Structure 1
Amino acid sequence: MGRFNDKVAVVTGAGSGIGRATALRFAEEGARVVVADLSDAVDDTAAMIREAGAEVEALRIDAGDTVQVRGLMQAALDRFGRLDVVHANAGISGGWAGLFDQTAEDWMEILRVNLIGPFLVIQAAAPLMAERGGGAIVCTASVAGLRSGAGGAAYSASKAGVINLVQTAAQQLTGARIRVNAVCPGLIETGMTQSIYDGARAAGKADRIGQLNPLRRGGEPDEIAGAVLFLASDEASYVNGHALVVDGGLSSSHPFSRQGYGKPAL
């Protein structure tokens, strides 16, 4: 298809799930790819890309560490000579613990990876892109960042921050020809949500997965990858500072079971 011929794409959180699917799609469409993850599984992603005949570099990094994120962007330049696209996808869930069951340390770690991580990506990548005349950055947010009911408190707050971050970054990069957008997945089968899927299947309730959205199903990582590639491509050349929701319609109402103060969830 070639939408990314001669371009270089960096993907964080590429060891599995949405990040792996996105990295593979970038490679299929002509990009040379740098994949990064804290897990050794990033090497498996790189092997898949090589088997498909594309060029790839794999690095193990902490996406919430300033020095390591800057090193990742420099590695893309050193290996491939340019940087055109970055998908800031690395994230952690933190579970479904309520406000009164989490500590400040829990919040700091979730925010460090999920919100400071994308900030570090933008801060490190944007100057390098600007030197070459522009680029595109896509951050993974979540429908949990739109309103309550789709994630734990700290996770939801971190993803709301990502949505505002891309809006703020788009404004502060005025004139740099760099677009910054977010994708907001709903329930997608990834390592982060695997326990939900496994539990439903073990209980014989697989048909209830995703029942709260109008499509009545969960999503697949490749469906999010398609949205990321659109936002990163020239087809989205006039899309900037936007949070694209890909959730089967869940966020059109966001139904959920309320958890009152001092009471268990219904």
Structure 2
Amino acid sequence: MGALDGKIAIITGAGSGIGRASALRFAAEGAKLVIGDKTAAVHDTAQAVKDAGGEAVALEIDAGVEADVAKLVAAAKETYGGLDIVFANAGIIGDMGGIFDITPEGFAETLRVNLIGPALMVKHAGKAMVDQGRGGAIVLTASVAGINSGAGPAAYSASKAGVINLAKTAAQQMTSANVRVNAICPGLTETGMTRPTFDYAKEKGVTHKIGQLNPLKRAGQPEELANVALFLASDQASYVNGQAIAVDGGLTSSHPVTRQLLGQTSH
């Protein structure tokens, strides 16, 4: 038996990266999927799910538009008869400017997709879960950039900090409904959004430096994030609620320090 047998799940940002890896992982564990992305690549993900023996309906949507979010929830109910799991994963890097360079328009667009989008999903999917009375699990993609400075530009970091608090607030507001809300906070992970970083490192011949600031000294892979999202979405995490789980190779486990290597002592 799979960890999600009989469950109906929505995943956004499913055209690539963490979203696509999660779609494949959730389906392999028995979930029936409604997946969304702003690009046509979401249909390729759906086909990959079907080729592996799973079920998936794909919609091209904008995760920061309320009508599109409502459309995903309606599709789950109309196609499969309900909704048990949501992974609100869609996001953008957004305005790359420093704090003195941001524009209201750029900041607002980053918040629209990265924070308002998940809030809308909590609104519509959470209401559907509460109304059907069998509980559910909502997972939001935040970031280590929402925990500490230094992992992303200002607007992106602020939006992801908001997602962390959204998970906590939503978990409290659905008290007694058995709808759990948690966030995952990826560290540097090889996805479409971070591809420029990886391409630049390859061009300069410094791929060995990618992820060097965390104790594992490497970047994450989408499948590693998908595994944590699967755990939070499953009944195995039945007592995990209102939490932000860092999946970052240990990056956020420490303040900046000069590391002492194993076996060495200071004198």
Aligned to 2:59: 59
1:21 corresponds to which residue? 21
**Other-structure match for 2:40:** 40
Consecutive unaligned residues in structure 2, runs of 5 or more:
258-267
The 1-side partners of 2:121 and 2:17 are apart by 20
1:107 maps onto 2:92 in alignment: no
How far did residue 253 of structure 1 move?
2.9
Identity %: 60
In 1: Cα distance, 2:110 partner to 2:30 partner = 34
Question: Pairwise mapping of residues 184-203 of structure 1 onto structure 2 (< 5 A)?
Answer: 184-203=185-204
Structure 2 Cα separation of the partners of residues 95 and 217 of structure 1: 26
Report the CA distance between 1:173 and its aligned residue.
Answer: 0.3
**Is contact 2:95–2:107 with CA below 8 Å preserved after alignment?**
no
Corresponding position of 2:253 = 252
Q: Do the aligned partners of residues 217 and 254 (structure 1) sit closer, same or farther apart at CA in structure 2, a change above 3 Å counting?
A: farther
Matched letter for residue 190 of structure 2: E
Q: Does 1:175 align with 2:181?
A: no
Q: What is the correspondence of 1:79-228 to structure 2 with a 5 Å cutoff?
A: 79-94=79-94, 96-132=96-132, 133-228=134-229
Inter-partner Cα distance in structure 1 for 2:193 and 2:105? 20
Q: Give structure 1 stretches of 5+ with no counterpart.
A: 257-266
Q: Quote the offset at 1:95 in angstroms.
A: 5.2
* Distance of 2:255 and 2:66 partners within structure 1: 35
**Does the 8 Å CA contact 1:136/1:232 hold for their aligned counterparts?**
yes
Q: Partner of 1:262 in structure 2?
A: none
CA displacement, residues 72-131 of structure 1 (integer Å, 9 cap, x when unaligned): 100111011110000000000025320111200000000000000000000000121112
Counterpart AA for 1:193 = T
Compared CA separation, residues 103 and 9, structure 1 to 2 (3 A): same
RMSD between superposed Cα atoms in Å:
1.1
* Residue pair 2:88, 2:138 contacting (<8 A) in 1 also: yes
In the alignment, structure 1 residue 6 sits paired with structure 2 residue 11 = no
Q: Find the residue that maps to 1:182 and give its secondary structure.
A: strand
C-alpha distance in 2, partners of 1:254/1:198? 28
Determine if contact 1:149/1:254 at 8 Å carries over to the other structure: no
Corresponding residue of 1:69: 69
**2 CA distance for matches of 1:96 and 1:119?**
23
CA distance in 2, matches of 1:225, 1:126: 21
What SS class does the counterpart of residue 165 from structure 2 fall into? Answer: helix
Judging changes above 3 Å, is the alpha-carbon distance between structure 1 residues 3 and 254 closer, same or farther for their aligned structure 2 residues?
same
Q: Which amino acid aligns with 1:127?
A: K
Are the aligned partners of 1:149 and 1:255 in contact in 2 as well (CA < 8 Å)?
Answer: no
| Counterpart Cα distance in 1 of 2:77 and 2:204 | 49
Q: Deviations over 1:22-51 (max 9, x none)?
A: 111000000111110000010110010010
Distance 2:202 2:79 in 1: 44
SS of the equivalent of 1:100 reads coil
Q: Normalization by structure 1: what TM-score?
A: 0.94
Tell me: CA distance 1:53–1:254, structure 2 relative to 1, closer, same or farther (3 Å).
Answer: farther
Does the CA contact (< 8 Å) of 2:9 and 2:84 recur in 1?
A: yes
Whether contact under 8 Å (1:144, 1:159) holds in the other structure is yes
Residue 254 of structure 1, CA deviation: 5.6
Given residue 150 of structure 1, which amino acid in structure 2 is its aligned partner?
A
Q: Secondary structure at the match of 1:3?
A: coil
Please state whether the residue corresponding to 2:100 is helix, strand or coil: helix
Counterpart residue identity of residue 217, structure 1? R
Structure 2 counterpart of 1:99, which letter?
I
